[in-house]
Structure 1
Amino acid sequence: MPYPSFPPRRTRAGAVAWLWQRLAGWPLARLWRLARLAGALVYRFSRREREVTRRNLAVVYPALAARERRALTRRSLRHSAATMLELGHAWMAPPARVAAGIIAVHGREKLDDARRDGRGVIVLAPHFGNWEVLNFWLSSHFPFTAMYEPPKMTALDPIIRHGRQRQGAALVPTNARGVAALLKALKRHEAVGILPDQEPGWGSGVFAPFFHRDAYTATLLPRLVARTQARVVTGVARRVPGKGFAIHFLDADVRVYSTDDVTSATGVNACVEAAIRLDPAQYQWEYKRYRKVIEEQQGRADYRDFQLY
């Protein structure tokens, strides 16, 4: 696959692409040191990321003392900064170097056994650790298909596509055509990836508990399972700071196989919770996971006051 041309460096997209390319040559230990500085700056100057993270953590871990919650907020923003800084590594560094940074793989047999039994595998990949490294590993070892929505900076689309597809992954749109492609891949006993913790549009999900608080959760999974009998696992690339990544594949909560949308969605959220327990600081807590609860109950998309909390 030919490498895409970069947008002009004088543009915002060009500056981002240039930074990814420069950081792709840095060792992971150096990127982690930079992330410690970047995370501290985000905590100090980015009120939005700091407050959303802090308030999400207040919902999820109400028993934490304020001091402990501040410390966890700092660690979480440090890991989120690391993920952004590592994009060049995942997408642009030589594949042998990216592979060398994956220092352990736990649970691969779950995927191998399913395919040996003539079943496709649905990998639930929450926003934990570095999900681009997980994509790299999966597409290096299995026929792998994932949904893809182009970025808001359209000039970056060819670069991101190239980075995600360079090991053979197939990217499909987030619409009915993409769902059809996922079904075909599963019927070929291949692996597909789904983001289980991204809020879908109204009408494409149900409310189900996520850490004991309802969150709007997609209902795509039970439809895929019902039509393909695929096996479901949770997959993450857990960061080992300064050293690399450990891939983990976890058994899915049995409720994901239910034909009832709410039961299945509850199982999906339980899978995300299990991944988070590996290291709560590595989850992307700055995402407004409970936004649609507020939209529904308050009738407006105001996430700033967190009145439901």
Structure 2
Amino acid sequence: MNSRSMAASKATFLILALKLAGKLSLRSAQLIGRLLGTLGWVFKGRSRKVTETNLRICFPDMPENQRRDLARSSLRHTGQTLMEIPLMWEWPVEECLGLIQEFEGEQLLNDALAKGQGIVLLAPHLGNWELTGLYFSSRHRMAALYSPPHIREFEDYMIRVRGRIGSELVRGDRRGLARMITLLREGGIAGILPDQSPRAKGVAHAPFFGLNVRTMTLVSKLLQKSGATPLITFSERLKDGKGFRLIIRECEPELDAADPVVATTALNLSIENCVREIPEQYQWEYKRFRHLTPGTPNPYNPKKLCR
């Protein structure tokens, strides 16, 4: 079997698993997710190590036992997010949206839409970001930036389920960015996951929980070229399988500053403010600090330096 056939087989298996998991109820999916997170904690794998490192960086003054509880809770929430994704991709759209029990910040959204200059919507990896994207794409003209997976066949599936109600998925290349600017100028919404570690092109180093981390300058460029309004949003998981609270917040000022350091500092602070609201629901298992200021020791491997 050649590499292309193997990739296709992997994609087929993964899609089948997602479709099967998509038949679960929310309570069942979250129960399994919590179990997976607990196993990740007990067996002290990579996810636990990265989570504990990130929390030591971000909450240095937190008592050790409290930080340990936060790490355990984070793994359980990440497990729940993992198991909720098939529901968001396979359930009927209105059934997914029915999980939103509360909505905070709707007036901010309406005020921004009334300006007619579009919205740059920041959705960090906090709570259930798939539900967040589904809500906005079902109600408004929206394009979302995405990074294509390595398996082509799975990319086709991902585009189909995420775009099943008209949302556009655009790659982070010149053509995709031009499309987002056009949509913003027409009063639409551009969705961005702003807390990923970007490639070396189009970045600045700005503080995030006290460390200067490589940060995308894309957001400030979109704002400068379109005149759009920036907002930040997340879907908070409610207790006992009761659904979610969709929250919209204002961003820090100067997100559109010409100085990339000033703009990315505002971006990271906007994200940090939201994370501090529900830190247990942030994806601490991601190596967000692997690209610090060049020459700084890598916190995940102190023997290496960041580049």
Instruction: Give the TM-score, by structure 1 length.
Output: 0.91
Between the aligned partners of 1:188 and 1:119, the Cα distance in structure 2 is: 7
Counterpart in the other structure of 1:116: 114
Q: Supply the distance in 1 between the matched residues of 2:252 and 2:21 (Cα, whole angstroms).
A: 38
Query: Which of 59, 62, 66 pairs up with 1:61?
Result: 59
Q: Following TM superposition, by how much is the alpha carbon of 1:130 offset from its aligned partner in structure 2, in angstroms?
A: 1.1
CA contact (8 A) 2:53 2:299 kept: no
- Which stretch shifts more, 210-219 or 40-49? 40-49
Structure 1 residue 170: deviation in Å?
Answer: 0.5
Q: Is the 8 A contact 2:131 2:235 kept in 1?
A: yes
* Map of 1:305 onto structure 2: 302
Aligned residue in 2 for 1:37: 35
Matches within 5 A, 1:63-142: 63-142=61-140
Counterpart of 2:218 in structure 1 is: 220
- Structure 1 counterpart of 2:288, one-letter code: R
Deviation at 1:261, TM superposition (A): 0.6
Which runs of no fewer than 5 residues in structure 2 stay unpaired? none
- What corresponds to 1:282 in structure 2? 281
2:286 alignment partner, SS class: coil
The answer for the alignment partner of 2:197 in structure 1 is: 199
- 3-state SS of 1:248 partner: strand
- Asked whether the 8 Å contact 1:121–1:186 carries over to 2, the reply is yes
3-state SS of paired residue (1:89): helix
Q: Distance in 1 between matches of 2:161 and 2:142?
A: 14
Is structure 2 residue 208 aligned with structure 1 residue 210?
yes
Q: Is the 8 A contact 2:15 2:154 kept in 1?
A: yes
How far off is 1:149 after superposition? 1.8
Give the root-mean-square deviation of aligned CA atoms.
2.2
Task: Say which SS state the counterpart of residue 254 (structure 2) adopts.
Answer: helix
- Counterpart of 1:246, as a letter, is R
The 5 Å alignment of 1:148-297 reads 148-241=146-239, 242-293=241-292, 296-297=294-295
One-letter code aligned to 1:276 = V
SS at match of 1:168: coil
**Equivalent pairs: percent with the same residue?**
32
Deviations along 1:155-206, one digit per CA (max 9) or x if unpaired, are 3112211121012111111111111011001000101111111111113111
Unaligned runs of 5+ in 1: 1-6
Q: d(CA) in 1 for partners of 2:150 and 2:82?
A: 16
Distance 1:189 1:116 in 2: 9
Q: What is the rounded CA distance, in whole Å, between the counterparts of 1:245 and 1:12 in structure 2?
A: 32
Is the contact made by 1:124 and 1:234 (CA closer than 8 Å) also made in structure 2?
yes
Q: Separation in 1 of the partners of 2:295 and 2:122?
A: 28
Separation in 1 of the partners of 2:152 and 2:38?
29
Q: 1:153 Cα deviation (Å)? A: 3.1
Mark the CA change 1:227 to 1:134 in structure 2 (over 3 Å): closer, same or farther: same
Query: Structure 1 residues 126 and 115 mapped into 2: Cα distance closer, same or farther (>3 Å)?
Result: same
Q: What do residues 116-167 of structure 1 show as CA deviations (whole Å, max 9, x unaligned)?
A: 1222100011011111101100101110001122212333112211121012
Cα distance in 1 between the residues matched to 2:274 and 2:296: 31
8 Å CA contact retained: 2:35, 2:79:
no
In structure 1, give the amino acid aligned to 2:142: F
Provide the rounded CA distance (Å) in 2 between the counterparts of 1:302 and 1:72: 19
Deviations 1:235-258 (A, max 9, x none): 111111311111111001012132
Paired positions, count = 300
3-state SS of paired residue (2:267):
helix
CA contact (8 A) 2:103 2:245 kept: yes
